[in-house]
Amino acid sequence: MPFETLCPEIVDALRAKGITEPTDPQRDAIPKISAGKNVLVVAPTGIGKTESAMLPIFDSIFRNNDGQGIRCIYITPLRALNRDMLRRMEEMGSKLGITVGVRHGDTPQAERQRQSRSPPQILITTPETMQVMFTGKNLREHLKKVKWVVIDEIHELAGNERGAQLAVALERLTLLAGEFQRVGLSATVGNLREVQDYLSGIGREVILCKHDSFRDFSIKVECPVPKEDNAELMDKLQSDPDILAVMIRARELIDSVTSTLFFVNTRETAEWLASRYHMWDESYPIGVHHGSLSKENRMETEDAFKAQELKGLICTSSLELGIDIGSADLVIQYNSPRQVARMTQRAGRAGHRIGGKIRAEILATAPDEVLEGMVVARRCEAKIMEYTAGRPNPLSVLANQLVAMTMAGGIEPDKAFTLVKRSYPFRDLTRKDFDDTVEQLKSIKLLLDYEGVLRRSRKGMNYFYENISMIPDEKTYLVRDIGSRAVIGTLDESFVATLEGDLALFIAKGRTWRVVEQREDELLVEEARTVGNVPAWEGSDIPVPFEVAMEVGRLRRIRNFDKYPGDAEAVKRAKDYLDEQTEKWTVPTDDTVTIEIGDRLAIINCCFGSRVNETLSKIISALITARIGESIGISTDAYRIILELPRNIDRRVIRDTFLSIKPGTVEALSRLTIQNSSHLKWRFMNIAKKFGIIEKGADRRYINYSKLFDLHRDTPAFNDAVSMVLWEDLDMQNTELVVKMIAEKKIRIVEQNVSHIGLEGITRSKELMQPARADHAILAAMKKRLDDEVLYATCLSCKNQRRVRVGDAPKKFVCPQCGGYMVALLKGYERDSMKDFGKPGRDQQAVNTDKRIVKNANLVNSYGGLSAIVLAGRGIGPEVAARILMKMHVGEDDLLRDIMAAEVNYAKTKRFWD
C-alpha cells in the first residue's frame, strides 16, 4: 500500500483528515515517484492527482531534510491559483515542518525579497514567474537545489507558446540544478504521447499513470420547448423564445440541486444571461464569472458560490480548470461545447469528489447545436478526446528565450542552440532558423555579440521585463456606433492595427462596420453594406474539431439517434430538421458535400469542422477571385462555407474551383492566399511585439503597420506569423485528407438550389442574444403600410415629377417626358428641393441636398422598384437606403427586417437631429 511506504507523520496527517485508502492514481503513481521516475498522471478531476504527486515529494523532503532552499517547484498555468490546493499543501507542510510558498505576478515585493533571502522548500508558481527567477543572483543559487518540478494541468501548456517557453526554461534549469525529476498532472489528454514527450524533453523517459476510475458520466442533451404562456416574460426580458425556454429549463435544473455551474461559450453570453436572470428576479442567487472580470470580483464570486450564497454560477472557460469553487452537483452547458476535452473538463466540475457521479446537461435548441451537442456528449462518455499537437519551433518563443538567457550573463550561440533543441517544441529546430533569429535580434539591438558571446543590451533588458509572458498582452478598444453612440463591442489592439485604408471594415454582431475615426481608447464606426473582415480576438467562438463535425455528418446520414444521449425533443428537433431537407434537397453529410447557388450567393455545405472549412474557404475565394477578377465575401462555420458573390456566376465555376484543389497542394495554396491577408497581419502584430519589433506601450496611431509588415517579409518574425496562421487558425492535415477523399470519390459533390440546411447558417444570427425577431405577421403589416406610401418620381434632367404608389412601382424607372434614366424617388416634403436643383452659386447646404438627390437617383437606377420600398421607410434617406440595398437578403422578410431596424434607429435618434 503506497500510504504505508510514506513516513508515519504523513500517514497520521492523512488519517486526521479521514483519508486512509489511496485512490487508484495515488496507488499507482506514489511508488513510481518515490522511486525517482518521471511520471505523467492522467486522471479525472477530483480524485487526488495533486496528492499523488506531492505526497512522495513531501515524504522525501521530510526524510532527507538538509536545510533550506527550493526543493520542489510546483507550476500551475492558472492565473488564479487554486486556493484549495494551496491550503492543503500548507496544512501538510506545517505538520511536517516543510515550508510552502507562492510566487506569481501579484506577490508583494516584500514577500519576494523574503523568498530571495529565505526561500520555501516547495514553491508554487506560474510559467511566467519561473522566467524571472533565473535573473536574481540569490534565487539562481536557490534553484540549484531543485530536485522536482511538478506541472499541473499540463495539457493546457503542451501545445502552445506558454508551454514552449516553459519547456526551454526547464532545460535552462538543468544547467543550474542538473537533472531533476519531472511530474505532470492532467485530467484530460487526447494526445498522451505528445504530452509525455513534452514533459520529458529529449533523451528522458516518462512513465504514464492513466486512470479513469471513480468517475461515471451522465451527460444528456435537452432541447427545451418554448411555451405560449411565456409571451409576457419574453417581452420583459427582450428575449428570443428559444433562449427563454433554455433559461426557464436551466432555472428548473438549478433549483433542483444545491449548486450548479452554468457554462457558456462566450463572455458576452455570460453577461447577457446573468443580466436577464436578474431582470426576471432581482433576488435570484446567480452570479457570473469570466476572465474579463477583475481578480477581486472573481474571488468574491467564487467564495459566495462555495459558501452556497449563490445557487448558480454562469461562467466561461475561466472555471474549467482547478480553481477552488467547492463541489457543484450539476453542470449545465448552453449550446454545444464544441470540443470533447472542453466538455469533459467542464462536466468534471460536477460531483467533484471521489465516487461522485459527473452529471451534466447540454441545453440546445438550434438543430446544428443539438446534433453537435449529442455527438460531443457521446464522445465524452466514450472518452474519445481530440488530438492536438503543439506548433513546432515557435520562433517568437525562441527570440524571447534567447534574450532571457542573456539576463544572467553571456551565452555562446552553440550552447544556446544545443539547450533549446533539448526541449520538445524545438526538437526539429534548424541551425539556419536559429541563426536568422539571432541576427534579427541583433539587428534591433536586443542582443549584443561580444567576441562570439551573446550578451544583453539595455534595450534587451527592458524587452525582457515587458515580455515575460507569451500570452498576447492586448489592449482592447471600445467600438462605438457614431450615430447612436451605442457600444457595439470591443476589438483587440492587433486587429485594430490591420484596419487601414480599404481594410477599415470589419464584422461585429453579424454586421459590417466601417471605421470613421480612431481615438485613443475607442473606434467610432458606421454600418457598411460591404464585405468586412471577421475579427480574431481572445474569446472568439471555440473551433469545432474535424472529428466532431464529421461525426455530426455521419449522424445526419445514418440517423442512429438511439446511440446518442438526447431527450425526445432533441431527437425530434434533429429529425424534423433532416426530414425537411430530404423533402426537396440532398442532405450534406460526412460523405456528401452540397454546393448551393442562390442570388449572388453560394453555400458549400461540408461537415469538416471550423478550421478545415476556414482553410478551404480561403483557397476557394482566392481562386474564384482570380478567375472572375472581382472580390468575394466569405464566412464559415463548422458545417458550411458561405460565399457572397459580386454578381450571379455560373454554378459550374464554384464546382470546378472546388474540384481544382488537388491532393498535395493545400499547404502551398494556403501560403499563397494568406500572404497579404489581414489575418496574417493580425498575427504578425502579436509576434512583432514578442520579437521586440514593436515596443510595449507604443502608440499604434503613430505606427505604419502596413509598412512594418512589408519591411519584415521573409524575416523569422514574418515566417513565424505564417506558421502560426497555418498551424493554429487553419488545418493543413485534415484539409489535405478531405481533398484526397474527394479526389478518390469517397466524398461526392452534389449541386442544388439553396436549401433549408444551407440557409440555417445565414438566417441564424451569429449573435445569439438578440431580442425576438419580428414575426411574419408584423412584417406583412409593415409591407402593406410601405406599399401604400406615395413617393414622387422626379427626373433630374427635365425636373418632371409624377406621383407613384410604392406598391405599384415599376421594375425600372424611366422619365415619360424626356426618356431620362436618372430618376429620384422623393418624399412629399422633399419635392420643393428640385426647384433650385443644379443651380450655381448656392450655399453648402443646398449643394449637399443636390448630392443626396443624385445618390437617390443612382439607387433607383441600380435597384429599380426595390429601392422604392426602402426609400419609403420613415427616416430612411439615400445613405441608409444604400446600406440596406447593398446587403444580401434571404427573402422579402429579411429585407423588411432591415427596413424596420432602420426605422427603429431613426425613432431612437430623431431627437438628436431635430
> pLDDT, tens digit, for every residue of 347-360?
877 765 544 567 89
pLDDT of 777:
53
C-alpha cell at 52: 499523488
Kindly tell me if the per-residue pLDDT of 470 is higher than 60.
yes
Residue 780 CB burial class (10 angstroms; 0-12, 13-18, ≥19): middle
d(CA 517, CA 526): 10
Cell numbers placing 289? 464569472
| In contact, 92 and 124? CB cutoff 8 Å | no
- Residue 459 CA: distances (Å) to CA of 136, 276, 403, 456: 19, 50, 10, 8
Provide the pLDDT for residue 772.
35
- Would you give the end-to-end CA distance of the chain in angstroms? 84
Q: For residue 456, give every residue at least 6 positions away whose Cβ sits within 8 Å of its Cβ, in sequence order, or none.
A: 403, 406, 407, 447, 448, 464
Neighbours of 425 (CB within 10 A): 27
- Report for 365-369, 521-525, 840-844: range of highest mean pLDDT: 365-369
Which band of pLDDT confidence, cut at 50, 70 and 90, is reported for residue 414? very high
Residues 6+ apart with CB under 8 A from 8: none
Half-sphere exposure of 98 (CA within 13 A, CB side): 29
Contacts for 31 with CB less than 8 Å, ≥ 6 apart = 2, 5
Mean pLDDT for 227-232 is 79
Residue 771 has a pLDDT of 34
| Domain regions of the chain by residue span | 2-210, 217-381, 476-527, 592-681+696-754, 776-913
In the chain, the percentage of residues whose pLDDT exceeds 70 is: 87
Q: What is the DSSP letter of 589?
A: B
Beta bridge partners of 791: 804
DSSP state of 385: P
Q: Give 481's pLDDT tier (boundaries 50, 70, 90).
A: confident
Determine the CATH number of domain 217-381.
3.40.50.300
Is the distance from CB of 145 to CB of 71 less than 8 angstroms? yes
Model confidence at 602: pLDDT above 60: yes
State the cell numbers at 537: 480576438
Q: Mean pLDDT over residues 413-417, rounded?
A: 96
Grid cell listed for 226: 418554448
Question: Would you state the cell numbers that stand for residue 708, as one nine-digit string?
Answer: 512594418
Please report the beta strands in 782-822, taking only residues with DSSP state E, as ranges in sequence order.
790-795, 801-805
pLDDT: which is higher, 362 or 535: 362
Residue 805 C-alpha cell reads as 404608389
How far is residue 656's CA from residue 623's CA, in Å, rounded to a whole number?
A: 10
Q: Inter-axis angle of helices 732-743 and 666-674, to 10 degrees?
A: 130
Residue whose entry in the numeric block shows the C-alpha cell 429585407: 895
Cα–Cα distance measured from residue 783 to residue 805, given in angstroms and rounded to the nearest whole number: 13
Least confident of 285-289, 721-725, 828-832, 900-904: 900-904
CATH fold match for the domains 2-210 and 217-381: yes
CA 36 to CA 459: how far, in whole Å?
Answer: 42
- Cα–Cα nearest to 3, from 36, 52, 62: 52
Q: For residues 544 and 539, give the distance between their C-alpha atoms in angstroms, rounded to a whole number.
A: 14
Rounded to the nearest 5 degrees, what angle is found at the Cα of 71, between the Cα atoms of 68 and 72? 140
Say which DSSP state 544 is in: P
Q: Is the pLDDT of residue 102 over 90?
A: no
Taking only the tens place, the pLDDT of each residue in 43-75 is 877 678 889 999 999 999 998 876 678 999 999
Q: Locate 477 and state its grid cell.
A: 478598444
User: What order do you get walking across the sheet with 592-598 strand by strand?
Assistant: 633-637, 640-644, 601-605, 592-598, 748-753
- DSSP letters for 737-790: HHHHHHHTTSSEEEEEE--HHHHHHHHS-SSTTPPPPP-HHHHHHHHHHHHT-E
- The C-alpha atoms of residue 113 and residue 111 are separated, in whole angstroms, by 5
Helix axes 776-787, 892-913, angle to 10 degrees: 70
Amino acid 540: pLDDT: 53
The segment with the largest mean pLDDT, out of 16-25, 216-225, 610-619, is 610-619
One-letter identity of residue 196? Q
Angle CA 157–159–163, to nearest 5: 40
Q: Across the strands, what pairs with 361?
A: 220, 332
Cα torsion angle, 689, 693, 699, 702, sign:
negative
* pLDDT given at position 418: 97
Higher pLDDT, residue 475 or 734? 734
pLDDT in tens, 422-460: 999 999 999 999 999 999 999 999 999 988 899 989 999
271 has a pLDDT exceeding 90: no
- Find, among 266, 507, 250, 279, the residue nearest to 365 by Cα: 250
Which among 18, 16, 98, 116 is positioned nearest to 60, based on CA atoms? 98
Q: How confident is the model at residue 912 (pLDDT cuts 50, 70, 90)?
A: very low
CB 315 within 8 A of CB 321: no
- Confidence band (pLDDT; 50, 70, 90) for 537? very low
The two counts, helices (H) then strands (E), for the chain are 36, 28
Across 756-760, 776-780, 804-808, 875-879, least confident range: 776-780
Does the CA dihedral 860-865-866-867 come out positive or negative?
positive
Inter-CA distances, 53 with 27, 36, 402, 809, Å: 11, 12, 32, 79
- Beta-carbon neighbour count of residue 630 at 10 Å? 11
- Look at residue 600 in the predicted model and tell me its pLDDT: 80
The answer to which of 495-499, 515-519, 568-572 has the lowest mean pLDDT is 495-499
Cβ neighbours of 235 (radius 10 Å): 11
* 672 pLDDT more than 60: yes
Distance CA 656, CA 244 (A): 44
| Lookup result for grid cell 481608447 | 521
Query: Look-up: residue for cell 485594430?
Result: 496
Average pLDDT of the chain to the nearest whole number: 85
Q: Name the band, by pLDDT with cuts 50, 70 and 90, for residue 601.
A: confident
Residue for cell digits 567576441?
Answer: 451
- Cell numbers for 470: 507569451
Q: Which CATH class is domain 2-210?
A: alpha beta
pLDDT of residue 788: 87
pTM summary value: 0.75
Q: Write out the three cell numbers for 573.
A: 428537433
How many CB atoms sit inside 10 A of residue 351's CB? 26
Q: What is the model's pLDDT at position 911?
A: 43
Q: What is the mean pLDDT of residues 721-728?
A: 92
- Those residues with Cβ within 8 angstroms of residue 333's Cβ, 6 or more apart along the chain or in another chain: 263, 264, 343, 346, 347, 360, 361, 362, 363, 373
Q: Of 98-112, 277-291, 858-872, where does mean pLDDT reach its minimum?
A: 98-112
How far apart (Å, rounded) are the C-alpha atoms in residues 394 and 373?
34
266 pLDDT above the threshold of 60: yes
